[in-house]
Amino acid sequence: MINALHESFGTVRGVLFDIDDTLVDLEYAMTTALRDVSEHLLPGLDQAGWEKFGRIFTHETTHFYDRYLAGELTFNEQRLLRGRAALGHFGVELGGEDSHTWLNDYSRLQPSYVRAFSDVLPVLDALDAAGIPTAP
């Protein structure tokens, strides 16, 4: 693999990786935590419903994340707005203390589901063995 890199790019002096959904499966972590903290609000939702719920949160509400990047919202505000949009799609209105509990529970659980993709360690090991520094 390292020889192929050298042939394609010349001498590789280092590799910079994005982390989310490149090294780790963030979408799995997000959607699994979302289900854990929202199941009591959406009893009986089938697998297709949970997949739609996850898509709304992770893909259809990115405009809230864009507003966070623009400095218009805090990280937690955009996260809560995304959660409210996903829940609202299924007729659940999340407000008041319930919204703070939901956000706190999600924020606590989501990191526990973060996992590296299966091909990450072999690639990092190969780069390390070749003496090529990496940075996330």
Whole-number Cα distances in Å, 75 to 19, 35, 50, 103: 18, 20, 23, 11
Whole-number Cα distances in Å, 32 to 3, 21, 53, 109: 39, 15, 11, 9
Rounded distance between C-alpha atoms, residue 102 and residue 100, angstroms: 5
Res. 38: pLDDT tops 60: yes
**Mean of the per-residue pLDDT values for the chain?**
91
Q: What is the mean pLDDT of residues 69-84?
A: 97
Rounded distance between C-alpha atoms, residue 48 and residue 81, angstroms: 22
Residue 3's pLDDT is what?
Answer: 66
Res. 6: pLDDT tops 70: no
pTM of the model: 0.80
CA R_g for the chain:
19
Q: What is the mean pLDDT of residues 106-113?
A: 97
Angle at which helix 47-55 crosses helix 75-89, to 10 degrees, equals 140
pLDDT band at 130 (very low <50, low <70, confident <90, very high): confident
